[in-house]
Each structure stands twice: as C-alpha cells, then as structure tokens.
Amino acid sequence: MSKQQRGLGKGIGALLGMEADLNNIRKPVGYINKGVVNAEQPQTNATADILRIPADLIEPNPFQPRMSFDKEALEELSESIKTLGLIQPITVRRKEGNRYQIISGERRFRACRLAGMDMIPAYIRDTNDQGMLEMAIVENIQRENLDPIEIAMSYQRLIDECRLTQEQMAVRVGKKRASVTNYLRLLKLPAKIQHDLKVGLLSVGHAKVLLGVEDTQLQEYLCDLVIKEGMSVRQLEDKIKKLEQKKADPADDGQELPDEYFKVLEIVGKYFENNISLKRSSAGKGSMTIHFSSDEEVRRFLKALEDSQF
C-alpha cells in the first residue's frame, strides 16, 4: 500500500489548497493609512507613528558612521523593496524649512531611492545633534556590519564630540569597557595596517597582537607576512616571540666590528645623514640597514657609486 503524499513537498500551492500567485500574496508594504508629511502641511504631533515623507525633503545623516555602502547589497535590497515595500521604516528628525534628516536607516533610504520611491515611510524623533549622533552610532553598530575601523572611529567621535568617557561610551553602546578600549586602540596602528584591517585582509585578533609591537616598521612587516603567508593569530604570536628571543640572544647581537665596517658606515652614512646601522655575528654574517628620507638621497648615493666606477 503506497503512502499518501504529504502536503510538504508539493509547494505552497498544496499548503494553501490552490496554486498560489506569490506576487498577489506578497504585496508591497505601503503604509497607506498613515499621514503624509509634505511641505504645505507639516505634521507636528506624529512622532510615535509611521509617516510617509517626500524623498526630496529628506537629507543624509552627517553623523553617519558608515563610510561606504556595498553596491551589490544595495541593489539587492532595492529589488526586495520593489517587491515587498520597505518593511522597516527609517528614522528621521525635523529640520528647519519642513525638511528631515536621517537618524538611522540611510542604507534603506538609498535603496528606496534606487527603487524609485518618491515617498519614504519614516518614524520622526525629536533630538539634538548629540542625541542624533549617539543614536546613529548605536543603531549602526547594532544593526549594520561596520568594519572594525569604522566602529573605532565611531567610538572616538562619541568621545570627542559628545565628551563621553570610555565608561559612559560602554554604557551607550551596550559593550564592555574593555571591548571599547580595544577598538579605540586600533586607531593607534599605522595607516597601512588600518587599511588592511578595514578591507578584511587582517583580523582584529591579528591587529591586537601587532599593537604589542612597538616598532612601526616591524608592525608593517609582520602585517604583510600575515597576509602573504596566511598566518593565524597563534602563528603571528609565535613569530613575534622568536624575533624577541633572537634580539635578546647575545650571540645574535653582533660582535665588535672590524675597522673596515666602520669605514663602510662612514662612507655610506654621509649620503643618508648617518641613518644607517650594521650588525655582524661572530661568524661574519650580518645585515646593513639604510633608512632614507627622500628619493634625492638615493639618487645622490647612486651617482656617487657610478662616479666611483664600482
């Protein structure tokens, strides 16, 4: 005796007892019963409701922590809005001249505009610049996938512009103070490392380890090494430990230099303002490091080499 085919597996038509037309079922959210804000008849007592506001009366949030919006993701959201409407309204505040400024939801606003919407569903809240900045940052941190540098810069703005302590900051964003502190420390990294962290080439875990390295050039070298070799955080820690051990090992600190080495330092150093160092082991192996401050220094040195017919 064969088993009767169950509803699941036949699709939504079987569950509804009919061949369903999804386009009719999923009608766009229109908020048609809500008041409409316009330049001639501004709504002054509708802060608790959802209103439809003309898109050309809405301006971006100058305190927006997010610096860039993924184009492909924005287009996908736009297509969803075309089909279903804007499920989650944006939040705005009133400005002079019957205009409105976005507090949160700029990504949704941009997608609505991309979808060709002239009227945007929105909540209206009354707030000052500080309150707006705080709400915008908290909204973005909680709901958007900000990169670590954007989060750190957002925290720093709250501290600088709203004069908050790190303790107050932690309360505002619902994070532990240690977490806030760790993010703020990321801003002490060299610009190159911040960039790699921002675009996802480096993890926050790697960045925290690099913060323990004092030498900026070494930080950048290790950062490049992590990206090139795909090092884990643990491997990076081990690499740093080995470098520290090597530096502390007297056998690798170099021996007394023979006179000819001092001669090299004297001759080459004068072209680079003596910004040159040389290390030599007891076996005669070593390295020479030259730091130059401009292309002109290198050109002068090259000319000297050519003139001496080396």
Locate tokens 């507090």: which residue?
Answer: 103
Closest CA to 100 of 41, 161, 158, 53: 53
Query: How far, in Å, CA of 12 to CA of 19, rounded?
Result: 8
List all residues 6 or more positions away from 57 whose beta carbon is below 8 Å from its beta carbon.
37, 38, 39, 98, 99, 100
List all residues 6 or more positions away from 51 whose beta carbon is below 8 Å from its beta carbon.
34, 35, 36, 37, 43, 121, 122, 123, 124
Question: Residue 217: helix, strand or coil by DSSP?
Answer: helix
Q: Looking at 106, 134, 150, 220, which residue is catalytic?
A: 106
Query: How far, in Å, CA of 225 to CA of 137, rounded?
Result: 34
Within 10 Å of residue 32's Cβ, how many Cβ atoms?
Answer: 7
Is 106 marked active-site? yes
Query: Which letter does DSSP use for residue 85 in this model?
Result: B
Cα dihedral sign, 295-301-306-310: negative
Active site residues: 106
